[in-house]
Structure 1
Amino acid sequence: MGFNKLIDSLEIAEINISDIPCIEISPPEFKGNIIFYHGWSSRKENQVFRGKILASHGYRVILPDAPYHGQRNKLDFNSGNGEDLLANYFFETLIRSILESKKLIDYIGRDKPIITAGHSMGGFIAAGVFTDNQEISRMININGSSAWLKTRDLWLDEIDFNQPIKDKLVIDNVSYSLKDYDPYYNLDKINDRPILLLHGDADSSVSIEAQKEYYQAAKETYEDEERISLVSYENLNHYIIDKMLAEIINWL
């Protein structure tokens, strides 16, 4: 079947998984499932093209709206208070996404492999969901971070925040420690599962340096180091390029 026919054969539906608005992209037959998370201030619709590419290679793709994004109590990202929004909601969005991830897994089912993937903030989420759920078989992190607190510290050095980004959050009257969910501090939960990290080495939004630290620490936990890869792209800022998509397809 030609590529255009493959694209035309995809079934695309807007669905709600519990209270999570999602787009589901399904080929006629699929060998696995990919939950693909979007970035900060973005929404699920912005990932449909990438979802189609992945689905055309034999994967059912679920694109959820992250908490506070898209259809879910959208924040005013054009208010000029970007630093305050980041300080107040970024890490809460990560924790909330992890807490609700089992709803997505229950919907998908466990009879075929599940992969988490994401770009930018979506990469942070994909790493957190992967670490917290042993049902997830693989993880793809594009221009994100698997070392949350290290990235936070880099941001604090670069950005003049009006308020601190705390180590502990209170969500729905429950206290959560970022360290408890930060993939870097939970390397014992990887259990040799495959990881692909893709990052521009000139990324001015999410520095590759924290991801390098995660990669070096995580690699030491593997019996087979080839199961974890960090691919850097020279002079690339905070973008997804065709070479990254090709790398993902080949890796899968």
Structure 2
Amino acid sequence: MYTKEGLEEVFIKGIRCLLAKPEKDNGHTLIFYHGWGSIPENQAFSAKILASYGFTVILPEIIHHGTRNPFPNPFDTEVLQKNFWKVVLHSVEEAEGLISCAVKSGLAKEGKICLIGSSTGGVIASGVFVEVSSITSLVTLNGSPAWEETEHLWRKSDGRPPAAEEELAQIRKYDPINRLENLKQRPVLMLHGSHDERIPSQGPKKFYDEAKKINDFVQYREYWNVTHTISLNMMEEMINWLMEIHK
């Protein structure tokens, strides 16, 4: 089945995904996670662009979005605050099965897989990256691999009290900044808008400052006056980086 955007609908380990196939396959697969309150279809244009460069692109649908028991109003403050980390943690925990199934089905090859995430998708992708060692590289677009720091910044901005220790324990378990040893020397690219009002840039900056001490292939770039959106310049830099890393 194909969507109106022209992408193939597939189910990988029971997870609905959209698939963009290249005309000339370069042998590499990109798994691209969408953001909060979004759906895979909203990344269809980006997927087509990436496929035009030879990449197979898989767009997973995250839990409680799209067709997966979606929240009626995902941006309701209570819904967002209560469920954000539950969705992130669930997505990280189910990712290894999805990736393994994608390899078995021929949609991806071991050692030739890159994770990409936009916004919440970047939070998820960074968690998966430090969990699954077979992933080759990571790109976050307005996401944050410093989970506890980002939660602290959100609570401070909202005027909420600090998170309970029980909730922090769950976040810390998978927080990429606590698992830097799992980065090894795998390439990471973080692109962020300087005026992002949803996910503060302090999170990825903190991760970069720590990760660069042990990884020579971590890059962070901030785009001046860009808010919580993917600019054309960000897309161009990501593609150039992907083409260089995945020759």
TM-score (norm 2): 0.88
Residue 147 of structure 1 and its aligned partner are, at CA, apart by 0.3
Letter aligned with residue 138 of structure 2: M
Q: Would the alpha carbon gap of residues 235 and 167 (structure 1) be closer, same or farther in structure 2, given more than 3 Å must change?
A: farther
Find the counterpart in structure 1 of residue 101 from structure 2.
107
Deviations 1:170-200 (A, max 9, x none): xxxxxx7211100011111100100000001
User: How do 1:199-210 and structure 2 match up within 5 A?
Assistant: 199-210=192-203
Alignment of 1:18 onto 2:13:
yes
Matches of 1:55 and 1:131, distance apart in 2: 25
Which blocks of at least 5 consecutive residues in structure 1 are unaligned? 1-9, 170-175
Secondary structure of 1:149's aligned partner: helix
Find the counterpart in structure 2 of residue 95 from structure 1.
89
Residue 60 of structure 1 and its aligned partner are, at CA, apart by 0.6
Which blocks of at least 5 consecutive residues in structure 2 are unaligned? 104-108, 243-247
Find the counterpart in structure 1 of residue 236 from structure 2.
246
Residues 195 and 229, structure 1, Cα contact 8 Å, conserved in 2: yes
Matches of 2:165 and 2:47, distance apart in 1: 33
Alignment of 1:31 onto 2:31:
no
Deviations 1:89-114 (A, max 9, x none): 11111111111111221122134511
Residues 167 and 178, structure 1, Cα contact 8 Å, conserved in 2: no
Alignment of 1:231 onto 2:221:
yes
Find the counterpart in structure 2 of residue 117 from structure 1.
116
Find the counterpart in structure 1 of residue 207 from structure 2.
214
Matches of 1:14 and 1:166, distance apart in 2: 40
Letter aligned with residue 184 of structure 2: N
TM-score (norm 1): 0.87
Q: Would the alpha carbon gap of residues 229 and 68 (structure 1) be closer, same or farther in structure 2, given more than 3 Å must change?
A: same
Runs of 4+ in 1 over 6 A off after TM superposition: none
Q: Which moved more, 1:105-114 or 1:176-185?
A: 105-114
User: How do 1:177-196 and structure 2 match up within 5 A?
Assistant: 177-196=170-189
**In the comparison of the two structures, how many residue pairs are matched?**
232
Matches of 1:234 and 1:12, distance apart in 2: 33
Secondary structure of 1:63's aligned partner: strand
RMSD of aligned alpha carbons: 2.0
Find the counterpart in structure 2 of residue 136 from structure 1.
135
Matches of 1:82 and 1:250, distance apart in 2: 37
Matches of 2:92 and 2:113, distance apart in 1: 15
